Amino acid sequence: MEQEKCMEMMALDSNNQEFDCPWFWDNLTCWQPARLGEVVEVNCPELFSQFMSEEDYELGKVSRNCTQFGWSEPFPHYLDACLYEEGNSTHPDMYYVSVKALYTVGYSTSLVSLTTAMVILCRFRKLHCTRNFIHMNLFVSFILRAISVFIKDGVLYAKEDSEHCFIHTLECRAVMIFFHYCVLSNYFWLFIEGLYLFTLLVETFFPEKRYFYWYIIIGWGTPTVCVTIWAVLRLHFDDIGCWDMNDHAAIWWVIKGPVLASIMVNFVLFIGIIIILVQKLQSPDIGGNESSIYLRLARSTLLLIPLFGIHYTVFAFSPENVSKRERLVFELGLGSFQGFVVAVLYCFLNGEVQSEIKRKWRSWTVNRYFAVDLKHRHPSLASSGVNGGTQLSILSKSSSQIRMSSLQAETPAT
Where along the chain do its domains lie? Answer: 1-82, 91-159+167-359
Between 355 and 372, whose confidence is greater?
355
Beta-strand pair 30-31/24-25 = antiparallel
Beta-strand pair 61-67/39-43 = antiparallel
pLDDT of residue 200: 84
pLDDT of residue 112: 95
16-25, 132-141, 396-405: the lowest-pLDDT one: 396-405
pLDDT of residue 207: 75
Start-to-end CA span in the chain (Å): 127
83-97, 175-189, 311-325, 398-412: the lowest-pLDDT one: 398-412
Give pairs for 77-81: CB < 8 Å, separation 24+: 77/321, 77/324, 78/28, 78/44, 78/45, 78/48, 80/324, 80/325, 81/44
Of 58, 56, 13, 17, nearest to 31 by C-alpha is 13
235-244, 307-316, 340-349: the lowest-pLDDT one: 307-316
pLDDT of residue 402: 42
pLDDT of residue 283: 67
Of 134, 146, 122, nearest to 219 by C-alpha is 134
Query: What is the CA 278 to chain-centroid distance, rounded?
Result: 30
Q: pLDDT-based confidence at 72, cuts 50/70/90? A: confident
User: pTM of the full predicted structure?
Assistant: 0.70
Between 298 and 191, whose confidence is greater?
191
Q: What are 112-161's pLDDT values in tens digits? A: 999 999 999 998 888 888 889 999 999 999 999 999 999 998 888 765 55
Between 401 and 203, whose confidence is greater?
203
Burial of 111 (0-12, 13-18, 19+ CB in 10 A): buried
Q: What are 292-341's pLDDT values in tens digits? A: 656 666 777 777 888 888 878 877 777 666 566 777 777 777 789 999 99
369 pLDDT above the threshold of 80: no
pLDDT of residue 259: 93
What average pLDDT does the segment 97-125 reach?
92
Specify the fold of 91-159+167-359: Rhopdopsin 7-helix transmembrane proteins (1.20.1070)
Query: What is the CA 369 to chain-centroid distance, rounded?
Result: 43
Identify any residues that bridge with 70 across adjacent strands, giving them in sequence order: 67
Whether the CB-CB separation of 101 and 51 falls below 8 Å is answered with no
Assigned CATH for 1-82: 4.10.1240.10
Which among 20-29, 75-84, 230-239, 400-409 has the top mean pLDDT? 230-239
Beta-carbon contacts of residue 367 (< 8 Å; ≥ 6 apart): 388, 389, 392
Which among 72-86, 118-132, 395-409 has the top mean pLDDT? 118-132
pLDDT of residue 291: 60
What average pLDDT does the segment 238-266 reach?
87
Identify any residues that bridge with 61 across adjacent strands, giving them in sequence order: 43
Q: pLDDT-based confidence at 49, cuts 50/70/90? A: low
Whether the CB-CB separation of 23 and 39 falls below 8 Å is answered with no
pLDDT of residue 150: 94
